[in-house]
Structure 1
Amino acid sequence: MPQKTKETPMMQQYLDMKKENPDAFLLYRVGDFYEMFYDDAIKGSQILELTLTSRNKKADEDIPMCGVPHRAIQGYIDTLVDKGYKVAICDQLEDPKLAEGMVKRGITRIVTPGTIMDESANTATENNYITAINRDKNRFGLAYADLSTGEVKVTSVDNFMDLTNELQNLNTKETVVAEDFPQKFLDPIKKIGILVSTIDSLDENFAFDYSHVTEELQVDTVKTLISYLVDTQMRSLDHLKAAETYKTTAYLSMDHTAQSNLELFKNLRTNKKSGTLLWLLDETKTAMGGRLLKQWLARPLLNQTELEKRQHIVQVFLDNYFQRSSFQDYLTKVYDLERLAGRVAYGTVNGRDLIQLKTSLEQVPKIKEILLDIGDYDLDAYIEQIDDVSDVRKLIEEAIVDEPPISTTGGGLIKEGYNEQLDKYTDASKNGKKWIAELRAQEQEVTGISNLKIGYNKVFGYYIEVTKSNIDKVPEGRYQRKQTLTNAERYITPELKEKETLILEAEDKSQALEHQLFAEVRKAVKEQIRRLQSLANVLSQLDVLQSFAVISETYHYVAPKFVDGHDLKVVNGRHPVVEKVLSNNSYIPNNVTFDNETDILLITGPNMSGKSTYMRQMALTVIMAQMGCFVPAESATMPIFDHIFTRIGAADDLISGDSTFMVEMREANDALKNATKNSLIIFDEIGRGTATYDGMALAQAIIEYIDKNVQAMTMFSTHYHELTELESQLPGVKNVHVDASEENGTLVFLHKVLPGPADKSYGIHVAKLAGLPDEVLSRADTILSGLEDTAPKGIKVEDAKPVVESEVKPQPQPQPQPQADVETVNEPEPDSQLSLFPELDAKPKAKLNKGEKKVVDELQNQDLMSVTPIDAINLLYKWQKELK
């Protein structure tokens, strides 16, 4: 950006505004276009695919520029914002015709990724959350809002990992911080694709309801958010609801990775909604219901009483099919009340929006009647909350025409009979135009000019037009020549000018009065925003619950029974999404059973047999149950879970630079450290990202740790068949396998989960199904046979007892005999600890080779007090390799 030297007044004005908004594209209104200059023009032309031109400032210097028509501006704004940029809109604040000197301009709005209001049909069921974060020592405050609906919520978390997880779960595109927020926290947030905006001061004057927020950190965080919205939007934000506090621990906790692995919102393969749990559950009829469904899916409940209330309403809808069908019909005609209320407050509502609001409110009495007809006590609690807002409906009915134009300034909005003065203007305009039509017929008859026309333009007003071939018929002295065209002459008469004045005055005053009346209607509606938002809230809840009823009826789901303790029994459970995709009743159901004696289901079976599907279906069943929905099973009894942990799939974390195995270990660590007895852990093939023995050792150590220390319900699939021995060694482990059979050398997947371990993994059979060459398959068989003959049979639990700090006592170091080239290891005393290296015990007095000496030295120098069980097993494996 060049320095401001000898700029034209307009460019000086542009540069001043750009200086105030250096981090935004500045769209500067000039006539019928919004222009960009300098660097904005260069970059904007590339992003928006516009032609880059230049504006001559001086003969020897050009200013890069590009522009877009003002009528098409929204599409260009959306493109820039979708790509993560801010856009500052600079409008003309006065009529250029009336301006003295330079036209006054000003920033009227700053559009950012978190504040975009104009949603498309594709995003109607999506929330667009903008967040703010704050910090107090080791705690973080997080507030979020959806500007289009007015929702505002705030929480606090105890660590940065929980903060970033919540940001990702909210799918926020922008977060706001104070200028002094530590940069070390912002860099990771930027890496996950979130725009970070800063604010230098808080707005203490904006009237906002903080009454439900008591914690100082949370209050400051909400103030940061609201101050940013006031600063960027520059208009009424009366639709913002009172801030609500929430605790992440009040809901079934699932981190962003778990939500992704379980494909709750996006299909891992296509990144789309199709093939997800949301896709299955969404039979909602309104946009606001669709948004609430996503919120319930992201935050299943822990409160059993609330869950059973939801279940009951679902059952009520199931039991009343005909009333439910009528309810759905009326609900389909209800538009997005939340966002309509937002546009009313925002000042962007138009006549068509108000007609949508009226149409929606017309359905409410019918909806209420249907619900009353069902006659259920719990449903009555919803009915009591339904306010039909009839005063708003009547006002719109009386004031706004049934098919209004989009523009609110061009007239044609207000119904005849609503305002007496407007009716007079309308009558004058209509009668004037009727008079002109009659004048045309009269002049055609008097002059004999059959093609005589009476037209209008903004420069000359009304005129009589006669073609050149008929000029000789124009009566002398009656017409006054006004304009000569190539093929015609235009004239005026005193009578025509007089009538023109009356007509134009009536039209101008009519449009101004209509706009004023529309603003009054909008203001009256705005005063009822809280009632409209309350109505939207109850209708959206009922919409989600009827959606649960529809899918429960369609797919024969059952109401789960919640119990205390550690018992879980799902009879003939199914994976809801896979079952829907198959759509031919070919899905094979399976049981899942845990009890007080069983913590871990150790699942074996060949690849492609359905182990992952079996585990995922259990997780999805839990989520559906704790949303209040019925579940895909013949019957289901389960506790209420507090957390779902998943370790599924193989993927690098390119942002942090972690390998697949490191990601696997981080996710496993998260579960081991944070799971409780009330958690569900899904571990799919732990240990496969490293060497075979490393992986097996880690897998066994993790199973032992869960059994001893965590005791969460765990579904653990593995190809390490050696681990199936743990059932006989650990009280909480139970083997199950996904059945498959081999018929004439061909593998047949049965997809049935049965007790006990699988007899083998059938990996080579799966490779055969994939079409690998016969030579490869034959050689693999030979190699496998050799490996199976020599492979170790695993480590017994009692031989790999975890090192517990309180149990470890300092051991005397072995004292070598003073010999020149020979080192020996003392014989173990009776009842001493089992030897780690029986190979050395077999030749205690022999001379050690270089590798053996290295192992002994490392063992002697090892600080046993600081070794974890997993580290100990890894060291053991490393030393064993070196000795071999």
Structure 2
Amino acid sequence: MSDILIPQNEAAQTPLMRQYWAAKRQHHDALLFFRMGDFYELFYEDAKVASRELQITLTARDREKTQPMCGMPYHSAESYITRLLRKGYRIAICEQMEDPKLTKKIVRRDVIRVLTPGTAIDPALGSSENNYLAAVHVAGGMVGLAYLDLSTGDFRATEFSGATALLQCADELQKLGPTEVLASASNPLLSESKELAEALGRARTKTSVDDWAFTTDYAIPLLERQMGTMSLEGFGLAQHRAAAVAAGVVIHYVRQTQQNDAGHVDAIRYYERSQHMHLDQVTVRNLELLDPIFTDAGTEATLFRTLDCLMTPMGKRLLRSSLLRPLLEAADIQQRYDAVAEAKQNLIQREQLRRSLGGILDLERLLARISLDSAGPRDVLAMAASLKHLPQLCRDVAMLAAELWRGAYARLDTLEDLCAAITKTLVAEPPLTLADGGVIAAGVNKELDELRDISHSGRSSIAAIEERERQRTGIQSLKVRFNSVFGYYIEITKSNLAHAPADYERKQTLVNAERFTTPELKEYETKVLTAHERSIDIEKQIFAELRRQLMENSGRIRKTSAVVAEIDLLANFAHLASLRNYTQPQLESSPVLEIAAGRHPVIECLMEEAGEGRFIPNHLYLDSEGPSLLLLTGPNMGGKSTYLRQAALLAIMAQIGCFVPAERMRYGIVDRVYTRIGASDNVARGRSTFMVEMMETATILNTATSQSLILLDEMGRGTSTFDGLALAWATVEYLHARVGARTLFATHYHELTILAEQLTKLKNLRVAVKESPQGIVFLHSIEEGPANKSYGIDVARLAGLPPQVIQRARQVLKQHERAERMNVAVETEAPLQMTMFTPLSQHVIDRLEETDINSLTPLQALNLLEELKAEIKAGQAGAAKA
């Protein structure tokens, strides 16, 4: 948002508005939520923006309406703040720093926190989603990337080098989808890559940070202090300065905006993309791993939703992360298989394990709220409610013997001391906030118990004082009362004033009575009036001490949370394997991919939920020794794309340790999955559909290895038929001769099928179709051999095109096919006939040389051939007469 014009004439402003503008000067780029009593108020341009975006009433502080304002109750502000953050706004929270009841001056106010899209702990954020704040640092030919989910403490960093470093960083950013990206305010290198500029622009918010924050002298020591270490060696960052600087900038920004040290962020993980199966953002999108390509398809049409039967939010986020970064080490994958297989076979133990997991809430986000001082009593009690399930979970895991289960048992800290501390300190059903007290349990603090006794026994104490004074004075009409102006007093009617004791101090005179006080009543009044405030102060101190104790053990809580996530993931895979008849893949040392009766995991689930019958399974066999390249032909809607995606999804499932929907699967490690599927363009960057297609294909041909898995669907359809065919032809030959990767190539170019006679490792497959007088029936199965036609017109008829269009299309198709046959005839038979009639043949040759055959449409070529045919026929007749 633009800078706010701040009035210069401060002398004419009220003290309250001078306070407001002082805060606004410091946070001119944020919407200032200014606390006034029970409301947050926004003024001037901030009010106009909030009123427009939130659809709330815009009012004014003056009759002339020169000071626009709007506001909302502070207790319901969270939902409004969330909506503004999701629209990309920054919000500065300006709170009252004093109790208005305890000061006669204007209440001191200060900005306690700046909320930004990347640092907000959004309560509306889904349990499986991450809210990443990222930073990019470019220096010395290296590109560092760091990103943090402040709501969970998940903190990671990586680094890129070489000529494609900026491009790699852009791809990683687009795959992560951070909400906010931090970048240097003036680094020219960030604009060198269009892809990186686009990735930065896709974030909901791009924030410029001062250049000095990106220096190694500032960023790296700051990161070391945050991690509580003298060196970053233990985190793998000592030799990766660009990544360490980016991580330091993230910490700098978090501390600056939160005005808090974010103690739960106490670890960072460095990774190389080569440590996992590489999936670029194109592949993640095309395979619909996390999000559907078409929003109207619903979120269920993704691999993540299909595999998500997890019991904890931490497990859901681990599954999401695993799908983006599948394993590469065969030993790690096999360990997961062993653990899943054991749990699959043990139904009772598996279900008991999942039952224990079901009681555990989001430990990571609860810890983050406690760390950032935004947790209420109920949040802390929810932490205890989750920790109560850990001992039983530990006993359940102990019953399993696989290596990963044993490791989880050894690392699972049950945190019983923290659970006991919380349950001992807090009442069973605490109020939402500390403001009104009643949070701390009885017996925790002696003074607090006494103050509560005073507050609760007020009436009986006053009644006792009243009865004693009546006995002492003999005045039966004597009353002890209280009002907010004079406090506690003794009231005696004027007819009984003569009996008032000498130690009574006159406090107020009424028409028919006098009011008095005594030293005892003054002392009691002081106790009663301050008891409530003092008890709340004590409760806040005890709660702060409990919070401090939890933060001292934040590392234990985070490690336990990570172990719970691993247990949940493995138990989930076992549950899926049992529920859906998934089988354990078999790892091989050679680059083979064999799938017997494989099923598409997402489509199978959607069909079952919709009651649409069973998914038809298919086989697949790829091997570096042959066939390494499968050429798939057949009609649209027949299942070619499904077959391609199914192969990739099963490979990804296998390498995250999940069993797969197939009778049998053998595979060698896949280092990267490439996809060239569908048509898209990028008008903003001046790239057509065909240009995007060629760039994606270029990436595949230049970077794929023999261990990769390549899916190419309808390559070359974005240009002319001959250009597209030529490019597809050359690409197939290059993949076969140079790359050697396991490749599935779906195409409508039937001409490519003859390559099976020339390329030893290429095999033709086709989609099975049954023809009938009523039309075609898709059998959705794959069989050997090339398809003889595309059935495009039949698919169009099924789509509902008018019969007149279908009929005319069949006529035009016949003309095109006839033209193609005539072309062959001219190239083969015609020259032989023309050698018998030299003058005529020369004439035909001259016409053909003068004509650019490739520029003719099929109908023009057909007309030319008909003319030449007539001339040849006429020449033959003339020669016969001669």
TM-score when normalising by structure 2: 0.84
Deviation at 1:311, TM superposition (A): 1.1
- 1:309 and 2:335 are equivalent in the alignment: yes
Which of 135, 146, 163 is the aligned partner of 2:149? 146
The answer to whether the 8 A contact 1:338-1:536 is kept is yes
2:278 aligns to what? 253
The answer to whether the 8 A contact 1:192-1:655 is kept is no
- 1:349 and 2:372 are equivalent in the alignment: no
Q: Which amino acid aligns with 1:572?
A: A
Whole-Å Cα distance in 1 between the matches of residues 823 and 599 of structure 2? 34
1:299 aligns to what? 325
Q: Which amino acid aligns with 1:588?
A: I
Which of 695, 698, 701 is the aligned partner of 1:666? 695
- 1:723 and 2:733 are equivalent in the alignment: no
1:712 aligns to what? 741
Q: Which amino acid aligns with 1:427?
A: D
Which of 127, 148, 162 is the aligned partner of 2:130? 127
Q: Which moved more, 1:558-567 or 1:541-550?
A: 558-567
Which of 407, 410, 419 is the aligned partner of 1:381? 407
- CA offsets per residue over residues 572-597 of structure 1, 9 Å max, x none? 00000111111155211000001212
Which of 87, 112, 115 is the aligned partner of 1:111? 115
Deviation at 1:14, TM superposition (A): 2.9
The answer to whether the 8 A contact 1:572-1:589 is kept is yes
- 1:160 and 2:166 are equivalent in the alignment: yes
Q: Which amino acid aligns with 2:43?
A: F
Within a 5 Å distance, the mapping from 1:498-513 to structure 2 comes to 500-513=525-538
Whole-Å Cα distance in 1 between the matches of residues 822 and 726 of structure 2? 12
The answer to whether the 8 A contact 1:286-1:335 is kept is yes
- 1:95 and 2:95 are equivalent in the alignment: no
Which of 217, 225, 234 is the aligned partner of 2:242? 217
Whole-Å Cα distance in 2 between the matches of residues 518 and 268 of structure 1? 47
Structure 1 residues 510 and 653: alpha-carbon distance in aligned structure 2, compared to 1, 3 A threshold: same
Which of 205, 208, 217 is the aligned partner of 2:226? 208
Report how many aligned residue pairs link the two structures. Answer: 801
Gap regions ≥5 residues in structure 2: 470-478, 825-840, 866-882
- CA offsets per residue over residues 330-359 of structure 1, 9 Å max, x none? 111111111222222222222212222222
Whole-Å Cα distance in 1 between the matches of residues 663 and 489 of structure 2? 82
The alignment partner of 1:189 has SS state of helix
Structure 1 residues 432 and 605: alpha-carbon distance in aligned structure 2, compared to 1, 3 A threshold: same
Deviation at 1:671, TM superposition (A): 1.1
Whole-Å Cα distance in 1 between the matches of residues 575 and 483 of structure 2? 59
Whole-Å Cα distance in 1 between the matches of residues 798 and 845 of structure 2? 55
Q: Which amino acid aligns with 1:184?
A: S
Whole-Å Cα distance in 2 between the matches of residues 506 and 537 of structure 1? 44
Deviation at 1:60, TM superposition (A): 7.5
Deviation at 1:154, TM superposition (A): 0.7
Whole-Å Cα distance in 1 between the matches of residues 261 and 291 of structure 2? 35
The alignment partner of 1:646 has SS state of strand
- CA offsets per residue over residues 370-396 of structure 1, 9 Å max, x none? 122234444211100011112111211
Structure 1 residues 463 and 281: alpha-carbon distance in aligned structure 2, compared to 1, 3 A threshold: farther
- 1:324 and 2:350 are equivalent in the alignment: yes
Whole-Å Cα distance in 1 between the matches of residues 272 and 385 of structure 2? 37
1:280 aligns to what? 306
Whole-Å Cα distance in 2 between the matches of residues 118 and 435 of structure 1? 48
Q: Which amino acid aligns with 2:78?
A: Q
Higher share in helix: 2
Whole-Å Cα distance in 2 between the matches of residues 55 and 199 of structure 1? 36
Whole-Å Cα distance in 2 between the matches of residues 842 and 554 of structure 1? 76
- 1:191 and 2:201 are equivalent in the alignment: yes
1:450 aligns to what? none
Deviation at 1:847, TM superposition (A): 10
1:555 aligns to what? 580
- CA offsets per residue over residues 91-131 of structure 1, 9 Å max, x none? 222334555755432221111111011423x5122111100
Structure 1 residues 845 and 262: alpha-carbon distance in aligned structure 2, compared to 1, 3 A threshold: closer
Deviation at 1:745, TM superposition (A): 3.4
Q: Which amino acid aligns with 2:547?
A: R
1:169 aligns to what? 175
The answer to whether the 8 A contact 1:178-1:224 is kept is no
Deviation at 1:4, TM superposition (A): 3.2
Structure 1 residues 552 and 66: alpha-carbon distance in aligned structure 2, compared to 1, 3 A threshold: same
The alignment partner of 1:663 has SS state of helix
- 1:653 and 2:656 are equivalent in the alignment: no
- CA offsets per residue over residues 562-619 of structure 1, 9 Å max, x none? 1122322100000001111111552110000012122211111111111111111111
- CA offsets per residue over residues 495-518 of structure 1, 9 Å max, x none? 987755433332222221111111
Whole-Å Cα distance in 1 between the matches of residues 738 and 725 of structure 2? 20
Deviation at 1:139, TM superposition (A): 2.6
2:836 aligns to what? none
The answer to whether the 8 A contact 2:177-2:203 is kept is no
Q: Which moved more, 1:541-550 or 1:164-173?
A: 164-173
Structure 1 residues 333 and 848: alpha-carbon distance in aligned structure 2, compared to 1, 3 A threshold: closer
Whole-Å Cα distance in 2 between the matches of residues 105 and 529 of structure 1? 31
The alignment partner of 1:115 has SS state of coil
Within a 5 Å distance, the mapping from 1:624-643 to structure 2 comes to 624-643=653-672
Whole-Å Cα distance in 2 between the matches of residues 793 and 151 of structure 1? 67
- 1:269 and 2:294 are equivalent in the alignment: yes
Structure 1 residues 436 and 689: alpha-carbon distance in aligned structure 2, compared to 1, 3 A threshold: farther
- CA offsets per residue over residues 534-583 of structure 1, 9 Å max, x none? 11010110101111111111111111111122322100000001111111
1:588 aligns to what? 616
Whole-Å Cα distance in 2 between the matches of residues 117 and 576 of structure 1? 33
Q: Which amino acid aligns with 1:6?
A: N
Whole-Å Cα distance in 1 between the matches of residues 516 and 797 of structure 2? 93
Within a 5 Å distance, the mapping from 1:600-611 to structure 2 comes to 600-611=629-640
The answer to whether the 8 A contact 1:722-1:793 is kept is no
1:578 aligns to what? 603
Whole-Å Cα distance in 1 between the matches of residues 105 and 487 of structure 2? 27
TM-score when normalising by structure 1: 0.83
Q: Which amino acid aligns with 1:168?
A: Q
1:74 aligns to what? 78
Q: Which amino acid aligns with 1:166?
A: E
2:37 aligns to what? 31
Q: Which amino acid aligns with 2:772?
A: E
Identity of aligned residues (%): 37
2:784 aligns to what? 755
The answer to whether the 8 A contact 2:507-2:517 is kept is no
Deviation at 1:428, TM superposition (A): 2.2
1:766 aligns to what? 795
Whole-Å Cα distance in 1 between the matches of residues 596 and 482 of structure 2? 79
Which of 47, 53, 72 is the aligned partner of 1:47? 53
- CA offsets per residue over residues 438-464 of structure 1, 9 Å max, x none? 999999xxxxxxxxx999886676799
- RMSD, matched Cα: 3.7
The answer to whether the 8 A contact 1:463-1:490 is kept is no
Q: Which moved more, 1:59-68 or 1:157-166?
A: 59-68
